[in-house]
Amino acid sequence: MTATTADHHDDHHDHHPSGIGRWLFSTNHKDIGTMYLWFSFCMFIIGGLMALIVRAELFMPGLQLVTPHFFNQMTTNHALIMIFGAAMPVFVGLANWQIPMMIGAPDMALPRLNNWSFWLLPPAFTLLIGSLFSPGGAPAGGWTMYPPLSIQTGMGMDMAILAMHMMGISSIMGSINIIATILNMRAPGMHLMKMPMFVWTWLITAFLLVTSIPVLAGAITMLLTDRHFGTQFFDAAGGGDPVMFQHIFWFFGHPEVYILILPAFGVISQVIPTFSRKPLFGYSSMVFAVAAIAFLSFIVWAHHMYTVGMPLAGELFFMYSTMLISIPTGVKIFNWVATMWRGSMTFETPMLYAIGTVFLFSIGGFSGLMLAITPSDFQYHDTYFVVAHFHYVIFGGTITGAFCAVYYWLPKWTGHMYDEKLGKIHFWLTVIGMNITFFPQHFLGLAGMPRRIPDYSLQFTEFNMMSTGGALLLGLSQILFLYIVMKAIKGGEKATDQVWDGAEGLEWTLPSPPPAHTFTTPPLVK
C-alpha cells in the first residue's frame, strides 16, 4: 500500500458516522452512556405510568378501572421495568460517561462489547412490554415470578423470561467491561486507593453483577423447562419444591438491591465533598464499607423468606447476618455527615439531592432493620409495610441518587448550566411527592393491608387516597425534569472548566502532578 493510500485509509477510519449511524454503531463511551441514560428515562416514564394505573385503582376501595388480572400484570411489569429498565441502566450510563474520565482512560476497555451490551436492551424491553399484547397477557405473578403462579400463565411469561435473559447478558457484559477498564486502564499513578469513590462502588457492583445474574438465569431457565419440557424442579406434585425457587431467586435478588444502591452511594460520595468544600471523611473506611456490604449481601437472602417454614437456626442466622449489614451502611452515613460537618456548604440542586438521598435512604434502612427481626417480620411480611420500605430504599436511594448525578454532571456533559431555580423546584416536588406516596404505606402495612391486591377494606381508604395523590404529584414532577435537561442541552449559561466553584478539583484525587495527557477529553458537544 502506498503512503497516500495508507493516509487515505486512516482518514476513512477516523470518519465519524453521523445521523442514526453515529448511535447504532457507536463505540464512544460518551455516546453509549448517553443512550443508556435516555433509554433509562424512557423506561422510568413507562414504569411510572404503570405504577399510576396501580395507584389509580387503589384510590378507592372496590374495583374501578381494571380487572384484578390486569392489575397484577401492571404491578409485575412496573417492577421488572423499573428495576431492570430504569434503575440499572441509568447507573451503567453514568459509569460509561464518568469512569474513563475519572481514571484517565481514553475509553472503555471493550468498546464494541459496550455497544452490544446497550443494544441488547431495546429488544429485551420490546419483548417484555410486548408481552402485554400476547394471548393471556403479560406475566402477572409478581416481579419475583414465584411458581406456581409463573408456571400457569400464558405466552407472556415466556417472553418475559427471554427478555430477562437478554437483560442479564447485557448486564454481565457491561460489568466485565467496567472491571476490565478499571483494573487495566488507570492513568499512571492512579492506585486503587486513589480512585474516586464512584469508580470504587462501580468496581464492586460489577463483581456483584457477574456473580448474581447467572443465578437468576439458572432460576428462570429451570422455570422455562418446568413450563415446557416436563421437568419438575418447582412442581410439588412431581417431587419438586416451589421454595427452592425462592432460595435461588433471592440469592440473586438480595445482591440485586445492593447492585441498585451502591453506585448511588458512589455518586453521593462525590457530591457531598464537592459542596462541603472538603475531602471525603474516612475514604478508606468508605471503600471497605462498600466491600463489606457487597460480601454480606450474599449471605442474607432468606430474610425475604421467614414465613416459608425455615428451621429456627436458619431464621436466627439470617436475622443476625441481616442486622450486621446495618454496620457498614451506618459507617457510610456517618462518614457523609462527618464530611458535611463544619464544611463550607452550599445547597445547589445536586447537594439537595445528595442530602435528600441520605435522609430517605436512612428511613428505608430503619424499616429494613424492622423487617430483619424474624418475629416482627411475620407481621410485616407481604403487607404494604414492605412496599414502603422497598420504595424508600430504591426510590429514596437509587432514583434520587441518579437525579443527583445528572444535575451534578450535566454541565460537564452538555457544556451548559441547567436552570438552578427549576432544579430546586424539581427536587422539592419529587421529595414531597415521594413522601406523600410512600410514607402512609407504612401505616397501611402495620394495620394489615396486604400488597398486590386491587381491592381493600374500607378502613384503609384515607391512606390510600393520600398515597395516590402523592404518586400523581411524583409522576407529574418528572415532566419538569425532562424540560430542565432539554433546556440545558439546547443552551443556557456556559459551564466553566471548574463547574462547581472551587470544589470540582476535589473530585480528582490524583497524586500531583498528574500526567499531562490524563484529562484532555474531547469537547463534550460537537
Ramachandran angles phi, psi of 348, nearest 5° = -70, 170
Active site residue 78: yes
Active site residue 451: yes
* Type and span of the H or E element at 378: helix 374-380
Candidate list 29, 55, 278, 303, residue with the active-site label: 303
Active site residue 304: yes
Candidate list 175, 269, 367, 400, residue with the active-site label: 269
Ramachandran angles phi, psi of 366, nearest 5° = -65, -40
Half-sphere exposure of 411 (CA within 13 A, CB side): 22
Candidate list 55, 165, 278, 332, residue with the active-site label: 332
Active site residue 254: yes
Among 242, 223, 289, 219, residue whose Cα is nearest residue 261? 289
Q: Any residues with CB less than 8 A from the CB of 495 and at least 6 apart, and which?
A: 411, 412, 414, 415, 416, 417
| Cα separation, 481 vs 487, whole angstroms | 10
Per DSSP, 509 falls in state -
Among 143, 116, 149, 107, residue whose Cα is nearest residue 128? 143
Candidate list 23, 107, 231, 461, residue with the active-site label: 107
Candidate list 97, 200, 258, 409, residue with the active-site label: 258
Active site residue 329: yes
Active site residue 321: no
Candidate list 31, 226, 256, 419, residue with the active-site label: 256
Long-range contacts of 26-29 (CB under 8 A, 24+ apart): 26/115, 27/107, 27/111, 27/112, 27/114, 27/115, 28/107, 28/111, 29/96, 29/97, 29/100, 29/107, 29/108, 29/111, 29/114
Candidate list 29, 254, 278, 442, residue with the active-site label: 254
Candidate list 26, 75, 329, 400, residue with the active-site label: 329
Q: Any residues with CB less than 8 A from the CB of 42 and at least 6 apart, and which?
A: none
Q: Which stretches of 26-119 are DSSP H helices?
A: 29-57, 68-80, 88-103, 111-119
| Angle between the N-to-C axes of helices 29-57 and 400-414, in degrees from 0 to 180, rounded to the nearest 10 | 140
Cβ atoms of 470 and 437 within 8 Å: the answer is yes
Candidate list 29, 30, 55, 78, residue with the active-site label: 78
Active site residue 143: yes
7-31 burial by CB neighbour count: b if 16+ within 10 A, else e?
eeeeeeeeeeeeeeeebeebebbbb
Active site residue 107: yes
Candidate list 170, 212, 400, 518, residue with the active-site label: 170
Residues forming a β-bridge with 450: 383
Candidate list 117, 336, 451, 518, residue with the active-site label: 451
Candidate list 304, 412, 426, 442, residue with the active-site label: 304
Cβ atoms of 367 and 385 within 8 Å: the answer is yes
Active site amino acids:
78, 107, 143, 170-171, 254, 256, 258, 269, 303-304, 329, 332, 451
